């Protein structure tokens, strides 16, 4: 049997993770990721399907207690989507292990539309349609040092 990879669980998990009481909503200030700054993560997002809607990037501590849990994100950046590639600069509190989740709300309705919206996560884990759980923190965790850490996230859509 061929393994089928779809982003359904990833998108739903990212959408469920939002909360108005969590972390800080910050601007996408790319100067925070310039030489001599940090700690921060420079996120290159590839494969954005369209320029419609909004992109949301959220950072989490890489622990099972925090990863994609409602109200447990550290920082959130929201900005208008731009087809193709986008860049985010996500400051982190200190050097350590983190996970990043990206969501593309294509129609900007604040809801997850499984067949339209997209998502992606640090380290680009696969999602197996037969195992609809969210990717484990082990699959998304990366180390961000005291300076600027660069990662690439590939967007996934149905």
Tell me the pLDDT tens digit for each residue of 123-151.
999 865 445 568 999 999 999 999 999 99
The domain limits of the chain are 8-154
- The CA-CA-CA angle for residues 104, 107, 109, to 5°, reads 95
Q: What average pLDDT does the structure give for the chain?
A: 87
Given a contact cutoff of 8 angstroms between Cβ atoms, the answer to whether 43 and 88 are in contact is: yes
Which pLDDT does position 114 carry in this prediction? Answer: 79
Which pLDDT does position 49 carry in this prediction? Answer: 96
Three-state SS for the chain is: CCCCECCHHHHHHHHHCCCCCCCEECCCCHHHHCCCCCCEEEEEEEEECCCCCEEEEEEEECCCCCCCCCCCCCEEEEEECCCEEEEEEEECCCCEEEEEEEEEECCCCCCCCCCCCEEEECCCCCCECCCCCCCCHHHHCEEECCCEEEEEEECECC
Q: What does the pLDDT look like over 63-87, one tens digit per residue?
A: 999 999 999 999 999 999 999 999 9
Q: Whole-angstrom Cα distance, residue 84 to residue 90?
A: 20
Which pLDDT does position 82 carry in this prediction? Answer: 98
pLDDT over 70 at 88, yes or no: yes
Assigned token pair, 90: 């996500």
pLDDT over 50 at 3, yes or no: no
Which pLDDT does position 132 carry in this prediction? Answer: 54
Place of tokens 């660069």: 150
Which pLDDT does position 115 carry in this prediction? Answer: 83
Given a contact cutoff of 8 angstroms between Cβ atoms, the answer to whether 81 and 48 are in contact is: yes
């Amino acid at each position: 049997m061929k393994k089928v990879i779809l982003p359904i669980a990833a998108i739903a998990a990212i959408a469920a993770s939002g909360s108005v009481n969590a972390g800080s909503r910050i601007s996408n200030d790319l100067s925070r990721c310039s030489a001599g700054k940090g700690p921060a993560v420079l996120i290159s997002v590839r494969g954005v399907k369209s320029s419609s809607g909004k992109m949301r990037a959220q950072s989490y501590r890489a622990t099972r207690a925090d990863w994609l849990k409602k109200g447990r994100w550290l920082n959130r950046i929201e900005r208008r989507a731009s087809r193709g590639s986008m860049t985010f600069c996500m400051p982190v509190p200190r050097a350590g292990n983190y996970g990043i989740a990206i969501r593309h709300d294509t129609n900007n309705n604040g809801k997850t539309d499984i067949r339209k919206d997209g998502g992606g996560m640090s380290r680009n884990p696969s999602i197996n349609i037969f195992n609809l759980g969210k990717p484990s923190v082990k699959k998304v965790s990366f180390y961000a040092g005291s300076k600027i850490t660069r990662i690439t996230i590939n967007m996934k859509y149905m």
